[in-house]
């Protein structure tokens, strides 16, 4: 518990800072945020399930935010604050997973510094309260994918304890499944993640070429299709609008 003391202080400061923005400069939504609010309202009241931002054939993150926001609307009522609570919650999730990701690979000092910089930067705090679709989700997914990638590339870790080695071995076995699914899901969430995903595949080719076995590629293909399925389904019912 002692080694998490500074992180807890940073987390509390981050929460207070974001709440301050939430009830002041970020209290009201802009046009793009209002559209996601309308999407959430339609999900709640009409039972529709949009797969992309209204009027667009990209930005699946808007669908993710709208569906989660509909839960906040049901609990707290329809308001700009209820909508912004989604972004607030996701920003705290991003801070927490960034800390534990950094802690896993670089130790307490680096993890604490990363989270401190993340927490105090004003523009980041403001943007963390924007419900624009795919923005925070893209960052969260990037951290998750990078975590899986690093665990796979660094396996086996001779300095790990026995329990950690078992966890690494299990992750090593299921990496193609996890990497495929989250890659597909990330691409549906935001097409801007494509360069990042290409870089990940290049890292695997350079440092772990044996990953590209037939068995792994089959697992990767089918789990990628599973993660990217909302985009595939959208194409089938909209005359292949994304791909043509």
pLDDT at 241: 67
CA distances from 56 to 46, 50, 62 (A): 20, 11, 10
Helix axes 229-237 and 162-189, enclosed angle (nearest 10): 20
pLDDT at 207: 87
Give the dihedral of Cα atoms 92, 97, 102, 107; nearest 10 deg.
Answer: 90
Distance (Å, whole) CA 186 – CA 99? 21
Sign of CA dihedral 130, 134, 139, 143: positive
pLDDT at 165: 63
| Count of C-beta atoms within a 10 Å radius of residue 137 | 23
pLDDT at 217: 92
pLDDT at 128: 81
pLDDT at 119: 86
Q: What is the domain partition of the chain in residue ranges?
A: 134-244
CA distances from 215 to 134, 145, 200, 202, 236 (A): 32, 20, 19, 19, 28
Query: pTM surpassing 0.85?
Result: yes
DSSP string over 166-198: HHHHHHHHHHHHHHHHHHHHHHHH-GGGHHHHH
H or E element in which residue 49 lies: none
Check residue 105 and give left, alpha or beta (phi > 0: left; psi -120 to 50: alpha). alpha
pLDDT along the chain (244 residues), means of 10: 85 89 83 91 92 88 93 91 90 93 91 90 77 88 94 70 64 88 95 93 89 91 95 85 64
H or E element in which residue 55 lies: none
Distance (Å, whole) CA 71 – CA 79? 12
């Amino acid at each position: 518990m002692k080694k998490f003391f500074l992180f807890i202080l940073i987390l509390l400061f981050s929460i207070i800072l974001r709440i301050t923005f939430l009830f002041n400069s970020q209290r009201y939504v802009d046009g793009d945020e209002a559209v996601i609010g309308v999407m959430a309202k339609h999900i709640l009241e009409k039972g529709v399930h949009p797969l992309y931002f209204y009027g667009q054939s990209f930005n699946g993150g808007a669908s993710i935010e709208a569906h989660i926001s509909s839960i906040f609307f049901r609990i707290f009522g329809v308001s700009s604050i209820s909508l912004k609570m989604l972004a607030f919650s996701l920003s705290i999730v991003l801070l927490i997973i960034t800390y534990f990701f950094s802690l896993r690979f670089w130790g307490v000092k680096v993890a604490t510094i990363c989270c401190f910089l993340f927490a105090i930067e004003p523009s980041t705090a403001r943007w963390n309260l924007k419900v624009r679709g795919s923005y925070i989700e893209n960052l969260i997914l990037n951290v998750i994918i990078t975590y899986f990638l690093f665990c796979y590339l660094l396996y086996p870790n001779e300095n790990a304890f026995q329990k950690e080695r078992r966890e690494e071995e299990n992750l090593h076995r299921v990496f193609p499944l996890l990497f495929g699914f989250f890659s597909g899901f990330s691409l549906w969430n935001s097409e801007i993640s494509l360069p990042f995903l290409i870089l990940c595949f290049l890292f695997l080719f350079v440092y772990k070429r044996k990953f590209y076995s037939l068995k792994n590629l089959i697992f990767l293909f089918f789990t990628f299709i599973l993660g990217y399925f909302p985009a595939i389904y959208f194409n089938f019912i909209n005359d292949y609008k994304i791909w043509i």
